[in-house]
Amino acid sequence: MTERNWAGNYGYQAAKMSHPASVAELQEVVAGAGKVRALGSRHSFNDIADTSGTLVVLDRLDAGISIDAQAMTVSVSGGTRYGTLAAELQRHGFALHNLASLPHISVAGAVATATHGSGDGNGNLATAVAALELVTADGTVVSARRGDPDFAGMVVGLGALGIVSRLTLDIEPSFEIAQSVFEGLDWDQVLESFDTLTSSAYSVSLFTDWSGPAVGQAWLKNRTDRAVLPAGLPEFFCGTPATQARHPLPGVSGSNCTQQLGIPGPWADRLAHFRMEFTPSKGDELQSEYLIPREHAVEALRTMRKLSDVVTPLLLVGEIRTIAADELWLSPNYGRDGIGLHFTWRQDEPAVRAILPLLEAELAPFDARPHWGKLFHAGAAGLAPLYPRFAEFTALAGRLDPDGKFRNAFLDRTVFGR
């Protein structure tokens, strides 16, 4: 195969690729494969989705989007993209609690890696999962729902338990978002009143290259039904309001970003940073992210600023977000509210990989957990102590996949190795 991921930095090593058009076909493929993994929207920057055997793509497994207005849930195929789902929910007057930066990612892939948006009160996307179905190693369809034994271990499953064919997500009534961007925030004020800043909107993201006295941008996504700050603020932490659409990356047009300038509109068109109809972000990039407990937020931010000489030359932009705690075993937010320190790197993988050990060592005192789908250095021996339910997850994987059909180099390195 010559297939590559979205960023182009990784080439898949699988012997073949399968596009099953039904669950029955998916069961047959999984049961007959020696090694098998699911491949989503290819927005992972490492080898988490690869295998030496068969890659399964669920882009043709479309059983529709089924809304249950009484239960306030929606059921979708694992290969459904969030942008597609969001548009359909909005059309019927419903919403998800949050979206990630990109609406182009698949539901199953985002859930499996605990991908997230921002907001002090918003859990990652996996926290919306109320039930799921997965095809296990022998081709059996296993169903689980919130409250079942081991359900909290199955949601953020890293693809280690089976192929997730369908998910049921919590929904709520539709709402509107007004998104505003402020530029040039004062770092000292940000650090002094960080909790005040992040609670100033339903979702807050800070963009920075970690150098200098100012934070580059703050993106505030205010729900109009529960707005914290009045519209039209003349400044925000000494930052001034942008007068035209902005992109997080300096010098890139804001035309492919979601509506800003405080103009209210549907959640589906505002909660993500990028529009579904445009190429997301910047393809020639690499990404890393580390999740830090909320109580260490300010100290971690100060540490990052001290590392500017090392980090900034390789960085396109950094992003700071907040995420609420959850109880999903391998979620980087398990048991703790946190902040995400996100790095969008220039596409120089040797140089990026060379500084990751240093970066992780500096963040180690804060119990930093890496995002599973991005570039990081730590192996299983370093990761296991960060997750109280780590051993329970490996035992669950052993029961559901006793012969290691879904295991790959990534899992051997980061989960099952010691």
CA pair distance 307, 262, nearest whole angstrom? 34
Q: Are 318 and 217 in contact (CB under 8 A)?
A: no
Residues 6+ apart with CB under 8 A from 396: 150, 153, 154, 161
pTM for the predicted model, two decimal places: 0.96
End-to-end CA distance of the chain: 31
Per-residue pLDDT of the chain (418 residues; tens, 9 = 90+): 578 999 999 999 999 999 999 999 999 999 999 999 999 999 999 999 999 999 999 999 877 899 999 999 999 999 999 999 999 999 999 999 999 999 999 999 999 999 999 999 999 999 999 999 999 999 999 999 999 999 999 999 999 999 999 999 999 999 999 999 999 999 999 999 999 999 999 999 999 999 999 999 999 999 999 877 777 788 999 999 999 999 998 888 898 999 999 999 999 999 999 998 776 655 679 999 999 999 999 999 999 999 999 999 999 999 999 999 999 999 999 999 999 999 999 999 999 999 999 999 999 999 999 999 999 999 999 999 999 999 999 999 999 999 999 999 999 999 998 6
Residues 6+ apart with CB under 8 A from 277: none
Rounded to the nearest 10 degrees, the angle between the axes of helix 297-306 and helix 349-363 is: 140
Q: Tokens at residue 393, please?
A: 């997850």
CA pair distance 35, 340, nearest whole angstrom? 33
Rg (CA), the chain: 20
